[in-house]
Chain A
């Protein structure tokens, strides 16, 4: 039996509200199916399932806010026999199920056994133990989600967040909490964690954009408006291809352990109209053509602003690209979004004096920056990465 849990849709998420089930007990599901909708500070998220099987039980009723990691449903994997409980549990709107908490209230996650097993020592990293001491959390009371059920820093942080979220008195409905405040709090938590834990190094280079701009303008002149490109897509593709050359930057650092990622999922920072931002993934960006990337990027921006992203888009990015230059700044030295190991920034494309073959001329240039996690890479490799981005942007037709 596989547990379907409230996913962590970004390092800054501590809880989510189950809005709607898209599947019912007995329904067959396959990997990638949308099984539920969850509301977070960043909008409505369509949550995908990652196993093939049959929905056995739905454990949380729509309208319920639960911490991340809470088991929402159980999925009987392919080949496993059904249980007698399957038909007993249903959460059609209005149905009363004995296992379901009431809608509209915040519940704590099911009481899960701590990871300490009789005769076995608690598995916890030194960093997590130190954080637990700082936050006053008993590690033995925390369920570990790391290798061999080890307690990680994230488990400790989650436990602390759940403790903080526990109301002393009956709380107002979650919706009454100021959404803006919650969004700022969650962004603050992620960025504070990043600045506290990640030893950033920063690099920058100025890139001649003449060839890229000329190429994009020529392409767009031949196309109807619905098929035009924006140069930001070229940035994304160049970053994705540069990661093939410097794959160590395409990594997560989880609890001090570096996890090299093979797939290149580029998170793109998207400002939300109501404030705040999200950075959902363009999956396998290195393998998409520029036109495919443009279509998917446009779709992603529209869905991000409409609040209908998918869970994998929020949980999968292996690096982030932020193009804040459109707001008029020359450069951005961004804060890494944990557990990623790097973030690439592009400033405003501006006309500057530029030396070409000994001649000074006016060229459009952009400042590209890299913020890297020094635990994962060194500046030398980061510099090679930015050089690769520069080189790739000089041959836009080959991107």
Chain B
């Protein structure tokens, strides 16, 4: 999976969590939770959606590594290459 494909997947899943958000305006280096006003339940659902879609189980201790869009894409890229 290419970086662009991962990014598109992440944005699609975030769109399911926050359907009212204009994701074209999502700042890639700002906290996703702050940008989209999502709470811990939303974030858990996002992580579950990543697991269901990309088969990557992200430990809770590594949540800080997926805090922003850029970080999230880079983290998933690394995990998918390793996996």
Binding site for B on A (CB under 8 A): 217, 220-221, 224-226, 228, 230-232, 271, 273-274, 297-298, 301-302, 326-327
* A220 and B61 alpha carbons, distance in the complex (Å): 9
Q: Decide: B40 and A273 in contact? CB cutoff 8 A.
A: no
Q: Decide: A230 and B44 in contact? CB cutoff 8 A.
A: yes
* A230 and B47 alpha carbons, distance in the complex (Å): 13
Q: How many residues of B contact A (CB 8 A)?
A: 17
With A273-B19, A302-B45 known as contacts, the answer to whether A224 contacts B40 (CB < 8 A) is no
- B37 contact set on A, CB distance < 8 A: 327
* A298 and B44 alpha carbons, distance in the complex (Å): 9
- A225 contact set on B, CB distance < 8 A: 44, 47-48, 51, 57-58
- A226 contact set on B, CB distance < 8 A: 48, 51
Q: Decide: A221 and B59 in contact? CB cutoff 8 A.
A: yes
- A327 contact set on B, CB distance < 8 A: 37, 39
B1 interface residue, CB < 8 Å from A? no
- B51 contact set on A, CB distance < 8 A: 224-226
Q: Decide: B45 and A298 in contact? CB cutoff 8 A.
A: yes
* A298 and B49 alpha carbons, distance in the complex (Å): 13
B18 interface residue, CB < 8 Å from A? yes
With A225-B51, A273-B19, A298-B45 known as contacts, the answer to whether A230 contacts B59 (CB < 8 A) is no
B20 interface residue, CB < 8 Å from A? yes
B41 interface residue, CB < 8 Å from A? yes
* A228 and B18 alpha carbons, distance in the complex (Å): 21
With A217-B60, A221-B60 known as contacts, the answer to whether A228 contacts B44 (CB < 8 A) is yes
* A110 and B40 alpha carbons, distance in the complex (Å): 46
With A273-B18, A273-B19, A273-B20 known as contacts, the answer to whether A220 contacts B60 (CB < 8 A) is yes
Convert B19-39 into 0s and 1s, putting 1 for each residue whose CB lies closer than 8 angstroms to a CB of A: 110000000000000000101
- B59 contact set on A, CB distance < 8 A: 221
- Scoring B19, B40, B47, B58 by chain A CB atoms within 10 A of each residue's CB, the highest score goes to B40
Beyond A225-B44, A228-B60, list 7 extra A-B contacts (CB 8 Å). A224-B51, A225-B47, A226-B51, A230-B40, A230-B44, A273-B18, A273-B20
Closest to A271 in B: B39
- B20 contact set on A, CB distance < 8 A: 273-274
Convert B50-70 into 0s and 1s, putting 1 for each residue whose CB lies closer than 8 angstroms to a CB of A: 010000011111000000000
Closest to A302 in B: B45
* A224 and B60 alpha carbons, distance in the complex (Å): 10
Q: Nearest Cβ in chain A — how far from B43, in angstroms?
A: 9
Closest to A297 in B: B41
- Scoring B19, B39, B45 by chain A CB atoms within 10 A of each residue's CB, the highest score goes to B39
Closest to B52 in A: A226
* A90 and B40 alpha carbons, distance in the complex (Å): 47
Q: Decide: A230 and B48 in contact? CB cutoff 8 A.
A: no
- A273 contact set on B, CB distance < 8 A: 18-20
Q: Nearest Cβ in chain B — how far from A234, in angstroms?
A: 12
Closest to B60 in A: A220
- B47 contact set on A, CB distance < 8 A: 225
* A112 and B72 alpha carbons, distance in the complex (Å): 61
Q: Nearest Cβ in chain A — how far from B17, in angstroms?
A: 9
List 12 A-B residue pairs with CB atoms under 8 Å apart, sorted by A's residue number.
A217-B61, A224-B57, A225-B44, A225-B47, A225-B48, A225-B51, A226-B48, A230-B40, A298-B41, A326-B39, A326-B40, A327-B39
- A221 contact set on B, CB distance < 8 A: 59-61
Q: Nearest Cβ in chain B — how far from A348, in angstroms?
A: 11
Question: Sorted from nearest, which 8 A-B pairs have the closest CB atoms?
Answer: A326-B39, A230-B40, A220-B60, A225-B51, A273-B20, A301-B41, A225-B47, A225-B48
Q: Nearest Cβ in chain A — how far from B35, in angstroms?
A: 13
- Scoring A225, A297, A301, A302 by chain B CB atoms within 10 A of each residue's CB, the highest score goes to A225
* A326 and B20 alpha carbons, distance in the complex (Å): 19
Q: Nearest Cβ in chain B — how far from A326, in angstroms?
A: 4
Q: Nearest Cβ in chain A — how far from B30, in angstroms?
A: 15
